[in-house]
Structure 1
Amino acid sequence: MVSLILILAAGLLTLNAFREYRQTQAVLPENSQWGVVHVGGLTLDQAQQRVLAVYLSPFELRYQGQIIHTPAEALGFSVIFLDGAQPQPKQSNFNSFWAYLWNDPQLVIEREIRFSLDESQLRGYLQSEIANRYDVIPVPPFPIPASSRFSAGVSGRFLDIEASLVRFRAALSNPLERQVDLIVQEQPMDWVDASLLKAVLMDELRKANFNGIAEIYAYHLSKDQQVHFAVANGKEVPTEIAFSAASTIKIPILLTALMQVQPPFPDEFMRLSERMMVYSENPPADRIMEVYLGSTLAPLKVTEMLQKAGFQNTFLAGYFYLGAPLLQRFDTPANQRLDVNINPDVYNQTTAGEMGRLLKEIYQCAVSEKGVFVETFPEEINAEKCDYLMETMKRNRIGVLGEAGLPEGVPFAHKHGWTEESDGFLHTISDAGIVFGPQSDYVMVIFLYDPAQLLFEPANALTARLSQRIFNAWNPDYQIEWNFGEIRYR
């Protein structure tokens, strides 16, 4: 009887265990894992939903200080279930039931999961939803009314989509990583546009009521930005007007002489250079040509050097001393123009454009030992000689014209020029040089001419104002404003 009771009890226990066993067979075994997700104890549907919830959880996109939560599917991510046939729950059989009764380890069902990325969809999302909303377009400075200053520009930024894609691809190997720092590139503030600066400079001429002839050349030496224009009687005309070069011609004189000497330069050469360039004396210019270029035709050697380097409109046709003979008459494209002709000095001529390009080439020679002079005269000119020329010109401190429009202490390697003509009046003023600004180095050449008479004080103030405008445009963090009073030429 006792035995029968024990047998019945064992049978009931086994039947109850079998019921529990059958209930567990609708779920995946413990320790089952699909990809990086543990799915033990879940049904197939539950396991798939958990995998999708993990693999397609939202991304946290970081655009500098901004955080954007975005569904993975919106970014082009999707889940791929591999391993062929769907894994099945455990089947009821004697061996598995016996293992269940004795708590033997169960098989682990593993399944490979992959994460795919539609890069075309991702690019579109980043452009339309991120870049279009958070990118900032740089804004250049603009002129402030009734001032020589420019408004502070605004730097920009833009989402580097291609670089950011690399970080999204990394998520394919680690689906649990949901933070992506987007790569954002800074976009520096633009400089004042060349056309805007030109308009500002032309407006300065208009406000000064300057009705003569002016040609202005400015060249940004690092950004390859150029402003070059000419006006006559208040209207714009083609550039490359032939002007009397006056003392600005001393720049190519010294350059030509430097081709004939080697460092260390003789004391006499340096003394004559200083008297010619810094004190603008004419006898030292004649002496340098006599000693270092030789013969009575020395001025023509300066012209020959310029012509070989490609300068068609700049020449020197005689010495400076009173009564010096005209050695040759030069017809140039500039002085043969019929639309604008100011009857420039037949002894020395140039244009603002050519004088500006001459200075640009000297700068390139000194800084990088490149440019037309080094290419044309490789055995005669080098960076050391060009640097000596610029350093000599920096010592020309006159406190007027272009220099008056610059902040105190800003180096200005320049040569100014003016002279009374045969009628006893001043008609032409010029200043040509290289400004070594705190943010930008640039060439600046200003020529002013009046057929009746060029009054020095208003012309000086106008030149300074034009210089200040160019400096403020190309050195936006160091803008200055000096009041020159009302500039009224006539």
Structure 2
Amino acid sequence: MRGRSFPYLRWISIVLIVLAMLLLIIQLVTYSRIRSNFALGTVIAGVPVGGLDQQEAAERLTQAYSFPVEIHYGDAVIQIKPSVVGFDLGLETMLAVADQQRVNQAFWSAFWDYLWNRLPTPSEVPLRATFSEERLRAYLKDEIASRYDQPAAAAQPVPGSTNFSTGAAGLTLDVDRAVTLIGDALRSPDARVVNLSVVQVSPPRPSFQNLQILLQQVIDASNFDGLTELYLMDLQTGQELNFAYQNGETVTPGIAFTAASTMKIPIMVSTFKRTDEPLPSDLADLMTLMIERSENDPADRLMEQVMDPNLGPLELTQDMEDLGLPNTFLAGYFYAGAPLLQRFSTPANQRTDVYTSPDAYNQTTPAEMGMLLSDIYQCSQTGGGTFAAVFPGKISQNECRQMINYLVLDKIGVLLQAGLPEGTQFAHKHGWVTDPTDGVIHTISDAGIVYSSGGNYILTVYVYHPTQVIWDQANVMVAKLSMAVYNYYNLAP
């Protein structure tokens, strides 16, 4: 019995060995096929490619990254094909890196792990891709922003008032943010929807052209049939508005007007140019009387004390010419019977198309008086500007600030000041004179610097009527012009 059982056991053992060998061969063949593909769990650029060969993996990656990026701008839905922005997927490099992980492990060691169900955990291969940011920006600007941006609408002048209508805010594409968001979507195999960021744009300030329309409407509504010239300078940008207007028609600006007491601004500048700091108390007192009370005798005394006693007005005129103000001059003192020291011919008073009977003793133009105020302002802000260039070392920043402080003392509550809200800082000098030949006023003027939260600016207005300037009519008109300009700079958001 024992002899017979042995062959059976031997054959059983042989069969088991053969079966084991067959099973091993089958497993080896199966593993060889698996090893020729990427290992299970392999991820390239966020796309699972385990069990795929290189061609299949390349097709899957290309499909995932060729899908358009969907962008939302408000209610609009736009699709961007990656090729439009030059998207280039680095397939060869990524597949090579993944394949290198496959072959790095020794065959038999890897096979042994396979037999024991110890599957490899390959590292994810990062995305290798590029796109043209320049092309993306161009696409966003030319195809998206140009179509879907909503430009802000500027406020418009309201006829018959000193106000502007409320403008409309706009929306504009945040291109920098969009480039970042779309770039992230192009690099993602699944998160390919982008909500674009937009920036709300406040309504722009109306143009100076629209402001001029409003100001001319104010003049028309006042029924003033004389001549008005206005000069405005934006002290933030240096932009200027200068026009003359009469009976519904524009006139070329740069008209010679009687300066009257606005000439005391040049007198103040020339005085500070010729005195050392601090201003002596006697001169300071005269300056206060000249500016705050608009008295003429202190103006004469200042020129007599700091300039040539006889030719002081001509020295002042030379200062203005040096500053580039050829139409601004003082040809004699203010006191009654003062001799005319020189007769001046200027570009402004030689015009033949318009005539305001300017005083032979003192003349200016609205623009030149405004530019002189600008020189004072710039000097007070930085210590530089025209004064530093033309009168080096003669007028300091502190002295320019003192000039503004003196001009703030001119508180009359009419003309330009009447159009400003209570408490607005306004450094100015007004002027008018009664004609000794007929006893009426022909010219009224006001020139000053307005400090406001919406921006600082210079405004000068000169009005003339050959018969008579009616005070109430002219005063209300000038106040409304001032109010309109203030409203322009301080539009409600």
Asked if TM exceeds 0.5, the reply is yes
Q: CA deviation at 1:70?
A: 5.4
2:255 matched to 1:205?
no
Contact 2:69 2:182 in 1 (8 A): no
2:128 matched to 1:79?
no
Summarize deviations over 1:20-60 as a string: whole Å, max 9, x none.
55445154234545355553333445533553466567768
Residue 462 of structure 1 corresponds to 477
Provide the rounded CA distance (Å) in 2 between the counterparts of 1:157 and 1:103.
Answer: 59
Summarize deviations over 1:451-486 as a string: whole Å, max 9, x none.
0111000010000111111111112139xxxxxxxx
Contact 1:28 1:109 in 2 (8 A): no
Once the two structures are overlaid, the 10-residue window that deviates more, 167-176 or 453-462, is: 167-176
Summarize deviations over 1:335-376 as a string: whole Å, max 9, x none.
111111222110100111111111111111111122222210
Trace 1:116-131 onto structure 2 (pairs within 5 A). 116-131=130-145
2:267 matched to 1:256?
no
Provide the rounded CA distance (Å) in 2 between the counterparts of 1:192 and 1:299.
Answer: 42
Residue 52 of structure 2 corresponds to 42
TM-score by length of 2: 0.85
Residue 3 of structure 1 corresponds to 10
Trace 1:52-201 onto structure 2 (pairs within 5 A). 52=62, 55=65, 73=82, 75-83=85-93, 100-101=114-115, 114-156=128-170, 158-159=172-173, 161=175, 165=179, 187=201, 189-201=203-215
C-alpha distance 442-110 of structure 1, shift in aligned 2 (>3 A): closer
Q: CA deviation at 1:433?
A: 0.6
Q: Which structure: larger Rg?
A: 2
TM-score by length of 1: 0.85
Residue 437 of structure 1 corresponds to 452
- The DSSP-based 3-state class of the residue aligned with 1:82 is helix
The letter of the residue matching 1:462 is M
Provide the rounded CA distance (Å) in 1 between the counterparts of 2:378 and 2:292.
Answer: 22
Q: CA deviation at 1:82?
A: 1.7
Once the two structures are overlaid, the 10-residue window that deviates more, 407-416 or 15-24, is: 15-24
C-alpha distance 321-71 of structure 1, shift in aligned 2 (>3 A): closer
Contact 1:82 1:111 in 2 (8 A): no
Which structure shows the bigger proportion of residues in helix conformation? 2
Q: CA deviation at 1:277?
A: 0.5
Provide the rounded CA distance (Å) in 1 between the counterparts of 2:359 and 2:343.
Answer: 11
Trace 1:321-470 onto structure 2 (pairs within 5 A). 321-421=335-435, 422-470=437-485
- The DSSP-based 3-state class of the residue aligned with 2:369 is helix
Contact 2:433 2:441 in 1 (8 A): yes
Q: Residue 270 of structure 1: which of 284, 287, 291 is its match?
A: 284
* % same residue: 39
Q: CA deviation at 1:78?
A: 3.6
Contact 2:69 2:185 in 1 (8 A): no
Contact 1:316 1:349 in 2 (8 A): yes
Once the two structures are overlaid, the 10-residue window that deviates more, 368-377 or 155-164, is: 155-164
Residue 312 of structure 1 corresponds to 326
Once the two structures are overlaid, the 10-residue window that deviates more, 365-374 or 327-336, is: 365-374
The letter of the residue matching 1:424 is G
2:251 matched to 1:237?
yes
- The DSSP-based 3-state class of the residue aligned with 2:283 is helix
Once the two structures are overlaid, the 10-residue window that deviates more, 70-79 or 115-124, is: 70-79
Contact 1:82 1:114 in 2 (8 A): no
Q: CA deviation at 1:136?
A: 3.5
Provide the rounded CA distance (Å) in 2 between the counterparts of 1:112 and 1:251.
Answer: 74
The letter of the residue matching 1:119 is E
Provide the rounded CA distance (Å) in 1 between the counterparts of 2:99 and 2:331.
Answer: 99
Residue 488 of structure 1 corresponds to none
Once the two structures are overlaid, the 10-residue window that deviates more, 116-125 or 312-321, is: 116-125
Contact 2:43 2:50 in 1 (8 A): yes
Q: CA deviation at 1:383?
A: 1.2
The letter of the residue matching 2:425 is P
- The DSSP-based 3-state class of the residue aligned with 1:197 is helix
Contact 1:82 1:112 in 2 (8 A): no
The letter of the residue matching 1:409 is G
Residue 487 of structure 1 corresponds to none
- The DSSP-based 3-state class of the residue aligned with 1:28 is coil
Once the two structures are overlaid, the 10-residue window that deviates more, 267-276 or 176-185, is: 176-185
The letter of the residue matching 1:458 is Q
Provide the rounded CA distance (Å) in 1 between the counterparts of 2:134 and 2:378.
Answer: 46
Q: CA deviation at 1:291?
A: 1.5
C-alpha distance 42-299 of structure 1, shift in aligned 2 (>3 A): same
Residue 487 of structure 2 corresponds to 472
- The DSSP-based 3-state class of the residue aligned with 2:90 is strand
Q: CA deviation at 1:426?
A: 0.9
Provide the rounded CA distance (Å) in 2 between the counterparts of 1:7 and 1:69.
Answer: 71
C-alpha distance 95-238 of structure 1, shift in aligned 2 (>3 A): closer
Unaligned 5+ segments in structure 2 are 1-7
- The DSSP-based 3-state class of the residue aligned with 1:430 is strand
Once the two structures are overlaid, the 10-residue window that deviates more, 371-380 or 450-459, is: 371-380
C-alpha distance 4-70 of structure 1, shift in aligned 2 (>3 A): farther
C-alpha distance 105-330 of structure 1, shift in aligned 2 (>3 A): same
Once the two structures are overlaid, the 10-residue window that deviates more, 94-103 or 211-220, is: 94-103
Summarize deviations over 1:280-339 as a string: whole Å, max 9, x none.
111111111112223111111111110111111010011111111111111111111111
C-alpha distance 383-455 of structure 1, shift in aligned 2 (>3 A): same
C-alpha distance 129-6 of structure 1, shift in aligned 2 (>3 A): farther
Q: CA deviation at 1:435?
A: 0.6
Contact 1:58 1:69 in 2 (8 A): no
C-alpha distance 163-306 of structure 1, shift in aligned 2 (>3 A): farther
Unaligned 5+ segments in structure 1 are 479-490
Please give the root-mean-square deviation of Cα atoms over the aligned residues, in Å.
Answer: 3.5
Summarize deviations over 1:39-98 as a string: whole Å, max 9, x none.
3333445533553466567768687x99978566265434221258895999xx999867
Residue 484 of structure 1 corresponds to none
C-alpha distance 112-301 of structure 1, shift in aligned 2 (>3 A): closer
Residue 4 of structure 2 corresponds to none
C-alpha distance 324-175 of structure 1, shift in aligned 2 (>3 A): farther
Residue 483 of structure 1 corresponds to none
Q: CA deviation at 1:114?
A: 1.9
Contact 1:21 1:100 in 2 (8 A): no
Q: CA deviation at 1:412?
A: 1.0
